Chains A and B, each alone.
Chain A
């Protein structure tokens, strides 16, 4: 019969948790003595059975039950924005059109109309030139400012959403 110290060493040997010297000593004893061999065999069988123990399983609805208990606000945060999408898109569309119009009116503001339809467009030329002069009178910085404002609004939207999410987490 092995004492507790020897048995503990055998377990450490089975776990691969002993020094080379200890392992060598164990191997010698296993060759010479039947007591340690029997204990080693029992430990091996027990280890195999312990490693084969299966986890208990909860009910089939377990995952659903947990998810159903999550805070409702968090479920909505995936989709909501703090600013309505329509507002953001109107800003973006307006600024985009303003930029395109500015580019088209450069540098002199004259509209080149095909000669075949020149007669039809001539009455409009005055109105176009008026519009162009209106565009040219607008400070270019307004458009730049509008773009920056849009970027700031989008950024603020993301920051506030993240803070709201963290508060609910």
Chain B
């Protein structure tokens, strides 16, 4: 039997730590990933994710169930991560559609028998996502990993739906260009 978020929330509000522990376990990877997209550092992301869950706990009685619990959770997480990023003024490298700053290996000097396997492609894709600006990386992550709709992403990030669609489009095009380059590289090596 699947225990719903609502059930765990009610039990947490009734004083059950175990129920809150189950909520944490359910969402910790997604919360941590979102913090990684914004902050780029494991240590900071983990501290921020913990802070986010503590905020959730202290404000759980204010959750009105007008949206999904996950959306409310990611909204708190995103704002906590942004506050942390502003404090340290993290410098970010931007991956723009018309100007590439790609931290990828130069395959032209690789060994002749080096192939770009699916795992490498996946790694490069994740690395490229992390090179996007925090808001763009967050939008991509929220859409594909946390499976939020455009409307929910707008609620989480505070952007308009139009902005979310634009960022999603531009980020995906940047990633598609990277993918095309990698596939072309692979094709050249196979010839």
B58 within 8 A of A: yes
By a CB distance below 8 angstroms, the chain B residues around A62 are 24, 28, 32, 46, 49-50
B140 touches A50 (CB 8 A): yes
A49 within 8 A of B: yes
Residues of chain B in range 17-66 having any CB-CB distance to chain A below 8 Å: 17, 20-21, 24-25, 28-30, 32-33, 36, 42, 45-46, 49-50, 53-54, 57-58, 60-61
B17 touches A50 (CB 8 A): no
B176 within 8 A of A: yes
Q: How far, in whole Å, are A56 and B37 apart by their CA atoms in the complex?
A: 10
Q: How far, in whole Å, are A78 and B188 apart by their CA atoms in the complex?
A: 66
Q: Name the segment of A19-27, A38-46, A85-93, A135-143 touching the other chain.
A: A38-46
B15 touches A74 (CB 8 A): yes
Contact status of A63 and B61, CB under 8 A, knowing A42-B180, A52-B122, A165-B15: no
B102 within 8 A of A: no
B10 within 8 A of A: no
B73 within 8 A of A: no
Interface string of B172-183 (1 = CB under 8 A from A): 110110011000
Interface of A: prevailing SS: helix
A100 within 8 A of B: no
B17 touches A75 (CB 8 A): yes
The interface on chain A, measured as residues whose beta carbon lies within 8 A of the other chain's beta carbons, has a size of 31
Query: Nearest chain-A residue to B47 (Cβ)?
Result: A65
Q: How far, in whole Å, are A166 and B15 apart by their CA atoms in the complex?
A: 10
B163 within 8 A of A: no
Query: Nearest chain-B residue to A58 (Cβ)?
Result: B32
A108 within 8 A of B: no
Nearest-neighbour CB distance to chain A for B43, whole angstroms, equals: 10
Query: Nearest chain-B residue to A17 (Cβ)?
Result: B150
B176 touches A77 (CB 8 A): no
Residues of chain A in range 141-169 having any CB-CB distance to chain B below 8 Å: 165-166, 169
Task: For A55, give its contact among B16, B17, B32, B121 (CB under 8 Å).
Answer: B32
A8 within 8 A of B: yes
By a CB distance below 8 angstroms, the chain A residues around B172 are 11, 43, 46, 50
A53 touches B25 (CB 8 A): no
Q: How far, in whole Å, are A165 and B61 apart by their CA atoms in the complex?
A: 11
B50 touches A53 (CB 8 A): no
What are 5 inter-chain pairs, A to B, with CB distance below 8 A? A53-B125, A56-B29, A66-B54, A67-B21, A67-B24
